[in-house]
Structure 1
Amino acid sequence: MPKTESLNEVVINAKEKKKLSAWQIVKKAITLIEDNHPIKPFSYIGYYRDYQFVDEEYVNLNEGIVEVFDQGFRTHKISDPLNNTALYSYKLNPNYIQDTLLSNAVYNTSKQIRAGKMGSSINNELTLLDIHNPIRNFNTGSFSFVYILEKDFVKNHKFYNQGIVFLDDEELYKIQFSSKQNLAGNNYTANGTIYVAKDDFSIHRFNYKLFSNRPRKLVFNINIEYKRQANNKMYLNYITFNNNFFITENDALKIESSFYDKNRGSFIIKFNRAIAKESLEKSNNVKLAFNDKNLSIHRLNLTSPKTVEVKFKNQISDFLNNQNAVDRAFFDLKLKNFEDILGFTMGKSKIEGYQFRELFVQRVFVDRKSPGNLNYLNKGKSLRHAPLNAVDINDYWLNSPLKQIKESKFD
């Protein structure tokens, strides 16, 4: 039978959970990287591209589809021979400016960044991208001033908790940081943001910028995002890395050779870089004299991207043909308003811009070992010489369009 009973009041007391400081949150997130990321073999397929950004123009856009095979976060990303990458497509996009000399300079030892030489022994831009992932390389090394993430990152930076943000209904700590002044001195400063899950302390996003201060200039900028998969582990979603570079005056626009061609009745000027057609619009952009006698120029022709032909009227050509015009020492050549196709003039001592490498993951295989029937990249050599694998990639996209951006975006 129903009956009413009177119960004494129950009181539950609990101590308020102590809030973690910003640096404690980051420290715990780093400690739990092996718990939150895969330690067994996996792979992902993604869209990769690298390019340069010079004078508001995108140059030498290379793009392709790659599959990255990883043995897990307890292995070394670069030195482990089973951590490989297979190339399924790779090409130079013809819709963007192509500059062979700039490409050759940027992809080898001519390229420099403000913190010194970069990648002089590694010509594989995808490998350089892998090296600059501090989350994947948490126990080895990455870049200044993160160095080895689990050992150096927290002690080298100051952290500020900016509160909670939401990503797909998941609560994340948004924590900003900056490099300690005694570490970077007055020459460099670094800052960034890290997003850490409140529940399990997994790292979802990591952004890092390093600046030189004299003058104020971006040295490099890294953006990384990890995404939770069905097995509750975090896998790479995208990584972008760009650095400032400059090419020394040895690679700037200059004349490689010049001579009089008696058969053509023309003076030939060969440059080290492709010349802009606008440089030839006015014939007085070239001043030429033979034995102190000024030569009247009829027109200028671009006979190849790097070769300019100076044409004379018949009487000038006849005069030169009757002289010892083969000897270059008798000619005095002066140029003005000459530019290469990137807009660099003869007097410019260096070319400066940004080099980008970007990888956007499209599909993750949470339990996949590298098969033995694929050709893999040489981690130290250029992608331009890497073998392609005959694999159907129709389900994957090449995202070529790029937005026009200004350098001030990085300031």
Structure 2
Amino acid sequence: MNVNRFKKKVLYLTVLLLVVIQGLSAQSGEYLYGYVLDASNGEAIVFANIHLKDRQTGVISNFDGGFRIPSNYKELGDILVFSSMGYEKEELSITEFIKDTNVVVKLRPSTLQLTEVDVIAPKRLKKELSPKEIVSKAISLITSNYPIEPYSQIGYYRDYQMDHDEIINLNEAIIEVVDQGFNAVDSTTSKVLIYDYIENIDFRRDTFALKPYDYDLKEGGKVIDRAFLDGYGGNEFVILSVHNAIRNHEMSSYSFVYKLDTDLLNEHSFKRTNDTFLNDDYVYTIEFTKKKYNYLAVGKLYINKSNFSINRLKYALYHTKGKNSLNVSDKNGVRKTLIFDVVTEYRKNGDKMFLNFISLNNNFKVLVPPKINVEFIDFNFTAERLEKKKIEFNHDNFVLNFNKDINGLIINNLWKKGILFKGQSIKIDRAVVIGNQLVLYPNLSNAKFKKFFEEFDVEKEQFMSDLVEFNLSELRDDDGNEVGMWTTKYYNQYREYFVQENNSKPRYIDNSLLMDKKRPIFDNQPNSKPNNFDNYWMNTPLRSTVDQ
């Protein structure tokens, strides 16, 4: 099918003013708030582009379609332009925004129709390129369509984790990147300057999820299941940058894309689907897949039909052994376990393509230590009992010392399981809880006690807890936490960078002000605010939970 033009339907734009019930900060007067939704189904449009007309400044919508812009732009009477892949572009006066309200903008999906010429096209027309040929041509033209001269970009960066549907550990920054151009190696030549950064304490902090990747599960390590991610010194911005396969097209980026002209092109199967458009540009839509071992890769490329520049690259990698936690198809129509996905989008600025945003998400797991655990054991036994002629209650006991107060400990079934000393069973006569201690009184006949005591005395120089085995599987605290039970907790890690301004002539930056790429981005890094710092802002999510 050769599509010559789109018949655009009348754009449908609905503006609803909703009183903000929650999510606005104490400084709500400093920002104007809104959401971008799909007019056909009311769903949030993620990564919608919202920029100020005739300016290079803009913002990208969040996972819930939300965005915010500084209120001072309203005083200037600016126009906001809304656009997203596959939707009609629209302009909206910023005067439509009202303090302490959300403006909900509904964009209608684009409609693609064939013209009469498309139907009766003569056979002499040039043969269409195959999907693989389209991708190949786009890759070959990267250095023509993207800047090879130095340039800079200023944008909003954030990293955070998702604990089920809750955003935790949100870190935010305004960052300038000075790129030496697509002919230079990004990781070694690009310079990064942090204007400002914060650890957003309005969102819950989780120390286990904040741990660096160490892959030492015996010590409660943090790992990506069935994959490996280099920690890059804990610098999440560097991790995000190396996953830009378009910028690093001649480098090895991520599995199984690696180098675009070899691994992506030759190791994947391509399929052309319905064309779409971005703003007024016609765009090819190319889907591609790869299956290798127990992995499934699913991707999509949006390529400009006029100059073959890549507007967007989406890529997701799954493990095929097992389904996702919800056992439902995700946005890619896959039910398997997601390992990571990355979305990279470039927009035209002048005659070149510049980064608009990049988002990287991966699953990871942390082995969490027991919430209640035995720290050490005392053994209190004397020889006095050997002189007794009949069995009666005495002071011989085991004392288990826990890491917390255990007054709520459920011990009903403890003595049913008993204790093993060098493989011999010892029953429990009584159990008493005192603060953080559990005192166990063994039930022993004189003969068994004599044998036990003799062996105990012989072994007393050894660490007795190695000789005595306590079956504590039935012990739980009042919150249901099992004694000594390590648990595995799963999270999603996000790193995202949204460009707010492009500069074709980057300024000079003193090296002493640059970010150290070998250290975490929020670990005492230098930061320096320019005089026009107020032109940029952090597009903090309006709420900490995601509606499902």
TM-score for the superposition, normalised by structure 1: 0.74
The verdict on how the C-alpha distance between 1:362 and 1:147 changes in structure 2, with shifts beyond 3 A counting, is same
SS at match of 2:522: helix
Picking from 522, 526, 530, the partner of 1:384 is 522
Aligned partners of 1:285 and 1:338 also within 8 Å: no
SS at match of 1:295: strand
SS at match of 2:139: helix
Q: Could you report, residue by residue, the CA deviation over 1:167-202 in whole angstroms, capped at 9, with x for unpaired residues?
A: 1111010111111x3xx13x0101111100000000
Query: Whole-Å Cα distance in 2 between the matches of residues 256 and 37 of structure 1?
Result: 60
Q: Which amino acid aligns with 2:476?
A: L
Structure-2 residue corresponding to 1:263: none
Structure-1 residue corresponding to 2:431: 294
Structure 1 stretches lacking a partner, 5+ long: 1-12, 261-266, 272-279, 298-308, 313-327
SS at match of 2:526: coil
Structure-2 residue corresponding to 1:336: 477
Name which structure has the greater RCO, CA cutoff 8 Å, separation 6+: 1
User: Any residues of structure 2 matched to 1:229-248 within 5 Å, and which?
Assistant: 229=349, 231-248=350-367
Structure-2 residue corresponding to 1:284: 408
The verdict on how the C-alpha distance between 1:100 and 1:114 changes in structure 2, with shifts beyond 3 A counting, is closer
Structure-2 residue corresponding to 1:375: 513
Query: Whole-Å Cα distance in 2 between the matches of residues 108 and 47 of structure 1?
Result: 30
Picking from 330, 342, 354, the partner of 1:222 is 342
Aligned partners of 1:191 and 1:208 also within 8 Å: yes
Q: 91-100 vs 232-241, which deviates more?
A: 91-100
Q: Could you report, residue by residue, the CA deviation over 1:202-224 in whole angstroms, capped at 9, with x for unpaired residues?
A: 01011001000001200001111
Structure-2 residue corresponding to 1:133: 244
Q: Could you report, residue by residue, the CA deviation over 1:363-385 in whole angstroms, capped at 9, with x for unpaired residues?
A: 11122155226511221211122
The verdict on how the C-alpha distance between 1:374 and 1:252 changes in structure 2, with shifts beyond 3 A counting, is farther
Query: Whole-Å Cα distance in 2 between the matches of residues 115 and 371 of structure 1?
Result: 41
Picking from 362, 365, 373, the partner of 1:255 is 373
Equivalences, count: 345
Q: 94-103 vs 353-362, which deviates more?
A: 94-103
The verdict on how the C-alpha distance between 1:131 and 1:350 changes in structure 2, with shifts beyond 3 A counting, is same
Aligned partners of 1:22 and 1:160 also within 8 Å: yes
SS at match of 1:96: coil
Aligned partners of 1:206 and 1:223 also within 8 Å: yes
Q: Could you report, residue by residue, the CA deviation over 1:129-188 in whole angstroms, capped at 9, with x for unpaired residues?
A: 011110000001111110111221111111111132111111010111111x3xx13x01
Aligned partners of 1:41 and 1:369 also within 8 Å: no
Picking from 492, 495, 498, the partner of 1:357 is 495
Structure-2 residue corresponding to 1:315: none
Query: Whole-Å Cα distance in 2 between the matches of residues 138 and 124 of structure 1?
Result: 22
Q: Could you report, residue by residue, the CA deviation over 1:209-255 in whole angstroms, capped at 9, with x for unpaired residues?
A: 100000120000111110111x3111111100011111236x56453
Aligned partners of 1:44 and 1:67 also within 8 Å: yes
Q: Which amino acid aligns with 2:515?
A: L
1:14: Cα distance to partner? 10
Aligned partners of 1:56 and 1:404 also within 8 Å: yes
Structure-2 residue corresponding to 1:118: 229
1:294: Cα distance to partner? 3.3
SS at match of 2:501: strand
Q: Is residue 398 of structure 1 aligned with residue 398 of structure 2?
A: no
| Structure of greater Rg | 2
Q: Which amino acid aligns with 1:380?
A: K
Structure-1 residue corresponding to 2:197: 90
SS at match of 1:335: coil
Structure-1 residue corresponding to 2:113: none
Query: Whole-Å Cα distance in 1 between the matches of residues 528 and 546 of structure 2?
Result: 36
Picking from 246, 261, 273, the partner of 1:162 is 273
Structure-2 residue corresponding to 1:200: 307
Query: Whole-Å Cα distance in 2 between the matches of residues 41 and 204 of structure 1?
Result: 20
Query: Whole-Å Cα distance in 2 between the matches of residues 362 and 26 of structure 1?
Result: 28
Aligned partners of 1:69 and 1:370 also within 8 Å: no
Query: Whole-Å Cα distance in 1 between the matches of residues 343 and 287 of structure 2?
Result: 14
Structure-2 residue corresponding to 1:74: 183
Query: Whole-Å Cα distance in 2 between the matches of residues 175 and 148 of structure 1?
Result: 18
Q: Could you report, residue by residue, the CA deviation over 1:324-372 in whole angstroms, capped at 9, with x for unpaired residues?
A: xxxx989x984335479xxx99635312121111111111112215522
Q: Which amino acid aligns with 1:113?
A: I
TM-score for the superposition, normalised by structure 2: 0.56
Structure-1 residue corresponding to 2:164: 55
Query: Whole-Å Cα distance in 2 between the matches of residues 140 and 348 of structure 1?
Result: 40
Query: Whole-Å Cα distance in 2 between the matches of residues 54 and 96 of structure 1?
Result: 12
SS at match of 1:285: coil
Q: Could you report, residue by residue, the CA deviation over 1:283-317 in whole angstroms, capped at 9, with x for unpaired residues?
A: 4336599x9753356xxxxxxxxxxx7599xxxxx
SS at match of 2:237: helix
Aligned partners of 1:227 and 1:234 also within 8 Å: yes
Query: Whole-Å Cα distance in 2 between the matches of residues 199 and 345 of structure 1?
Result: 65
Q: 102-111 vs 127-136, which deviates more?
A: 102-111
Aligned partners of 2:212 and 2:231 also within 8 Å: no
Q: Which amino acid aligns with 1:114?
A: D
Aligned partners of 1:206 and 1:224 also within 8 Å: yes
Aligned partners of 1:88 and 1:389 also within 8 Å: yes
1:63: Cα distance to partner? 1.1
Structure-2 residue corresponding to 1:173: 284
SS at match of 2:188: coil
SS at match of 2:238: helix
Q: Is residue 103 of structure 1 aligned with residue 210 of structure 2?
A: yes
Aligned partners of 2:227 and 2:339 also within 8 Å: no
RMSD across aligned positions (CA): 3.6
The verdict on how the C-alpha distance between 1:345 and 1:85 changes in structure 2, with shifts beyond 3 A counting, is farther
Structure 2 stretches lacking a partner, 5+ long: 1-121, 323-335, 379-399, 415-427, 439-463
Q: Could you report, residue by residue, the CA deviation over 1:105-142 in whole angstroms, capped at 9, with x for unpaired residues?
A: 45887322233331145311110101111000000111
Aligned partners of 2:167 and 2:544 also within 8 Å: no
